[in-house]
Structure 1
Amino acid sequence: MSQPQNRLSNKTLPDLPATVGKPAYDRSQLKTGIIHLGIGAFHRAHQAVYTENILQDDPNWGITGVSLRSPDTRDALAPQDYLYSVAVRDGAGEKLHVIGCLTDILVAPENPEAVLQAMCQPDIRIVTLTVTEKGYCYAPASRTLDESNSDIIHDLKHPHAPRSAPGFLVEAIRRRHASGLQPFTVLSCDNLPANGETLKCVTVRLAELTDAGLSSYINEHVAFPSSMIDRIVPATTDQDRVTVSRSLNADDQWPVCTEPFSQWVIEDHFPSGRPSWEKSGATFVRDVAAFELMKLRLLNGSHSTLAYLGFLAGHETVSATMAAAGFKNFIRTMMDEEITPTLPTLPDFDLSTYKDQLIERFCNPALHHRTAQIAMDGSQKLPQRLLNTIHNRLLAGQSFDRLALGVAAWMRFVTGKDENGQAIDIRDPLCDQLLQATVGLTTAQDILRALLTFDSIFAPELAQNAHFKAIILQQLETLLTNGAAKTVQNFKPQNSTQ
């Protein structure tokens, strides 16, 4: 069957196959109530879907997306009237639904003023973010603003034409306050601990560096609720575009592919109003911290461990990694013995079932979630996904061998050469510094010593802890000697209690 030539759009929407879900509302009646910073695949498969499902009852929550880097998403979706399809895949097949909640997409580097003007429209009541950990311009080990970040330095010099997400927030809030508009609520949807509190911290600090009065206003009057998000969304491939377009019988240049599972837990603090996301399955709570910690450590910690070990073992995807000898047992045991004891009790929540679901999701053969994609930006992810858990285990005098192997695999990965001596395409804000620090190093001791000097990753209480260093060294030496596949297959804990 040849590739269809008619483009997905408002015009072609009525002619899509009956099996394809379509917007159940009149798109011409949509009003924009949300600005979203970081219009990537995850947002379009997660928060946008939750919003899509409430628009029939309340059309006031259309979304204007903002790309802080590349025009690719805008360029692909503008000819489609900002329509795109979500392909939900598992072993049973694929279900397609066309999403219509996007009203516009702006590209910040092309026209930062247009973004600021959009953020200052009176109808905007919420700004959401999925900009990844590095987009917060913070030091993960201390959770404070990284004042040496190049975008932050730029924004301090040019506050009216910002580059960073915190820079756009500060300037938009300043303008709204000056014109008498109520502040919007700022909702982080990224994987970092206490994401709302962290975002508030960096935003207040950035404002403080130029305007103490504005800093106080943000601290006292702008709401930054935290949220926990969960859905696996692999990067869209050319083959995905072909497959989805054939099923639509229309050309969709930027579909997103995902799994059936989706979760969103949100602190219910929206002074300016919010959509009824609970009607789409979101859970509103007073404090999201326990859910967030559970997800960061069980899902994200396991995911990163799988990514680094799986990549080194030669596996392209998570599902292929889980199918390899030893990996499924290794990850489930890490969850049960090393991560679960660090988590607070969640009343009326079945943690064992949640872990069963995670294993099933990791094994999903229909999701080609590349280990290299998950391995990106490890310097930003490592503290909250693995190191904080290890720190808790250290304080409790408990073992952490499997967690340590995950950290050691990251260390092995960022040396820039795989187990066959081939170059690794490392995508990380600290890529150049990490490669420079480890160039020419061949022993585990030297690699460990070099990487522990990165205090934005390794807090002093870990970097200077003799027991921590000894266990990481032990796992790194094993990786270098035996390789990732054999290390996992033959893994035996070394009784790493103090």
Structure 2
Amino acid sequence: MQLSKNALGQIAAQPRLEIPSAKLLGLPEKVLQFGTGVLLRGLPDYFIDKANKQGIFNGRVVIVKSTDSDSSAFDKQDGLYTICVRGVENGKTVEENIINASVSRVLSANTEWKRILECAHNLEMKIILSNTTEVGIQLTDDNINDEPPSSFPGKLLAFLQERFKAFNGSAESGMVIVPTELITDNGSKLESIVLELAHLNNLDFKFIEWLETHNTFCNSLVDRIVPGKPNAEELKRTEETLGYTDELLTNSEVFRLWAIEGNEKTKEVLSFYKADDAVVITPDITLFKELKLRLLNGTHSFNCGLAFLSGFNITREAVTDKIFSVFAKNLMHQEIANAIPFEIDKKVKADFANNVFERFCNPFIDHQWISITVQYTSKMKMRNVPLIVRHYELAENPPMYMATGFAGFLLFMKATKKEGNKYFGELNETPYEIKDESAEYFYNTWKDKAGADVAKEVMQDEELWATDLTAFSGFLSAVQEQLQDMMANGVLNTIAQLETNKVTA
């Protein structure tokens, strides 16, 4: 039996399965969504569905499909799909299966553009969501009279122009646009591109005035790991337990966050936020950007080289190891949290750090350390160098956990072999690829040099870091000491010794 509207009544009730009421399928369409991807289905659509089930938002989503990918599964399943939430929350393992009933229909931009524009005539539809990847929010010389325009901003502009015409530019016909693409200030960038495109297409001044005055583009930050469809074996096992098949079934972690920049008027439109504290609408989301960038991404970057060189393949292996887990926790709570260059309440930082650790421990998601090392140098510069700088604004002593993480970075970047344009390091006589734009730089730097000399040369390279890292009191010697110890005794032994030294100090 395949999941569908007709099948809902035949699915047996189970403790870990949430089955929607059939009446939810009759709710009006209130959201236009550009993108069919798992992140949208696992986060915004998850919140909308949750709100609908609580009687709060009472609206459904029309999805615009811009690629030639097959959407027949949505049609066969009447837009229904299952989210399998797996992870750890407050120290407890969570396994939930939720049939999501938020999607009304999926329309193809290439073949159903007129039907998409018809949605602009629906006054109840006041929200536009998107996740077209980072490449989607770019300015191209697009003709918005094409059917459809080629770019996402072009499609959005054409839709808004149709909206303007349908309601004669009334104030109440304005929309709230919330992009979820993983770029900084995504809403502001999308707005500037749409406005520039409007001028390039010589659109009417009154429309542009309506566009600027009565439409709200919100910056937003999304954070949830949504791996998508499980492997064939796991999928079969899950479907047997659920009692139905689902071509759109997707896995998701428990943790979720959607931070949206907006005012009270924005809250009124995005009323689904009331269903879950993980949707935060606030005038400034910098706090959430900093928490994610430093405590999640920054912790990843300080840890990934160390963990990989310690022999751990996935995040869970490292943070459940007695030695490494202590290091990771102390790094987050004692050094990174204190050095975030933004004023944040201590409890908020501590709670976020604890959430990060639980996410690392997720027994249902295998997050590979080697994949986190991709473009290691740029990540270290963007995420972690500001933490080092901030630490020294507040203290004089070297941050030993950060120094250890930086030493692990240098050792991971020790490229010993070149094949064509690829560079390889070596762990226990087994090569690993260094996927980094600076791989050649490190390959040449490590040639015929001792670790201490490499550390000094790299750390004082202002072109690489936009600052001289050797200028910070004691930081160079701390990195050199840890790097030399790793090369002599092994990474995990160095980490263990760090804790021993603190106890005996």
TM-score normalized by structure 2?
A: 0.71
- DSSP 3-state at the match of 1:419: strand
Kept in 2, the 8 Å contact 1:319–1:362? The answer is yes
| Structure 1: distance between partners of 2:444 and 2:65 | 38
2:248 is the alignment partner of 1:254: yes
For 2:61, the equivalent position in structure 1 comes to 63
Equivalences for residues 14-53 of structure 1 within 5 A: 14-19=9-14, 20-53=17-50
- DSSP 3-state at the match of 1:53: helix
For 1:496, the equivalent position in structure 2 comes to none
- Give the deviation of 1:64 after TM superposition: 2.5
- Give the deviation of 1:18 after TM superposition: 0.8
CA 1:473–1:48: 2 relative to 1, 3 Å: same
2:211 is the alignment partner of 1:233: no
| Structure 1: distance between partners of 2:482 and 2:34 | 38
- Give the deviation of 1:112 after TM superposition: 8.7
CA 1:61–1:329: 2 relative to 1, 3 Å: same
2:281 is the alignment partner of 1:280: no
Q: 2:336 is matched with which residue: 324, 339, 344?
A: 339
- 1:463 maps to amino acid: A
- DSSP 3-state at the match of 2:229: coil
For 2:318, the equivalent position in structure 1 comes to 321
Deviations 1:164-218 (A, max 9, x none): 5444434433444455453321213355544444544555556566669677765
| Structure 2: distance between partners of 1:468 and 1:117 | 59
Equivalences for residues 389-428 of structure 1 within 5 A: 389-390=387-388, 392-393=390-391, 417=424, 419-420=426-427, 422=431, 424=433
CA 1:315–1:82: 2 relative to 1, 3 Å: farther
Q: 1:156 is matched with which residue: 132, 141, 146?
A: 141
- Give the deviation of 1:313 after TM superposition: 5.0
- Give the deviation of 1:46 after TM superposition: 2.0
Kept in 2, the 8 Å contact 1:41–1:233? The answer is yes
Q: 1:188 is matched with which residue: 176, 179, 191?
A: 179
Q: 1:367 is matched with which residue: 365, 368, 390?
A: 365
- 2:160 maps to amino acid: I
Q: 1:79 is matched with which residue: 58, 76, 79?
A: 76
| Structure 2: distance between partners of 1:448 and 1:166 | 47
**For structure 1, which segment, 98-107 or 185-194, has the greater mean C-alpha deviation from structure 2 after superposition?**
185-194
2:217 is the alignment partner of 1:224: yes
Larger relative contact order (C-alpha < 8 A, sep ≥ 6)?
1
Kept in 2, the 8 Å contact 1:7–1:251? The answer is yes
Kept in 2, the 8 Å contact 1:125–1:185? The answer is yes
- 1:169 maps to amino acid: L
Kept in 2, the 8 Å contact 1:30–1:59? The answer is no
**Aligned-CA RMSD value:** 4.8
Kept in 2, the 8 Å contact 1:278–1:284? The answer is no
Kept in 1, the 8 Å contact 2:56–2:275? The answer is no
CA 1:130–1:487: 2 relative to 1, 3 Å: farther
Kept in 1, the 8 Å contact 2:4–2:78? The answer is yes
| Unmatched 5+ stretches in structure 2 | 416-421, 500-505
- DSSP 3-state at the match of 2:424: coil
Kept in 2, the 8 Å contact 1:85–1:255? The answer is yes
For 1:294, the equivalent position in structure 2 comes to 291
CA 1:394–1:354: 2 relative to 1, 3 Å: same
| Unmatched 5+ stretches in structure 1 | 1-5, 138-150, 493-498
| Structure 2: distance between partners of 1:112 and 1:317 | 43
Kept in 1, the 8 Å contact 2:224–2:255? The answer is yes
| Structure 1: distance between partners of 2:107 and 2:78 | 13
Larger Rg: 2
| Structure 2: distance between partners of 1:372 and 1:407 | 16
- Give the deviation of 1:267 after TM superposition: 3.5
| Structure 1: distance between partners of 2:444 and 2:300 | 29
- 2:426 maps to amino acid: E
CA 1:114–1:446: 2 relative to 1, 3 Å: farther
Kept in 1, the 8 Å contact 2:297–2:383? The answer is yes
2:364 is the alignment partner of 1:352: no
| Structure 2: distance between partners of 1:251 and 1:225 | 37
TM-score normalized by structure 1?
A: 0.72
Kept in 1, the 8 Å contact 2:64–2:116? The answer is no
* Paired positions, count: 462
CA 1:464–1:68: 2 relative to 1, 3 Å: farther
Equivalences for residues 47-126 of structure 1 within 5 A: 47-56=44-53, 57=55, 60-67=58-65, 71=69, 74-90=71-87, 92=93, 94-106=95-107, 110=110, 113=113, 117=117, 120-122=120-122, 123-126=124-127
Kept in 2, the 8 Å contact 1:265–1:285? The answer is yes
| Structure 2: distance between partners of 1:400 and 1:174 | 55
Kept in 2, the 8 Å contact 1:71–1:107? The answer is no
| Structure 2: distance between partners of 1:68 and 1:371 | 33
Kept in 2, the 8 Å contact 1:244–1:252? The answer is no
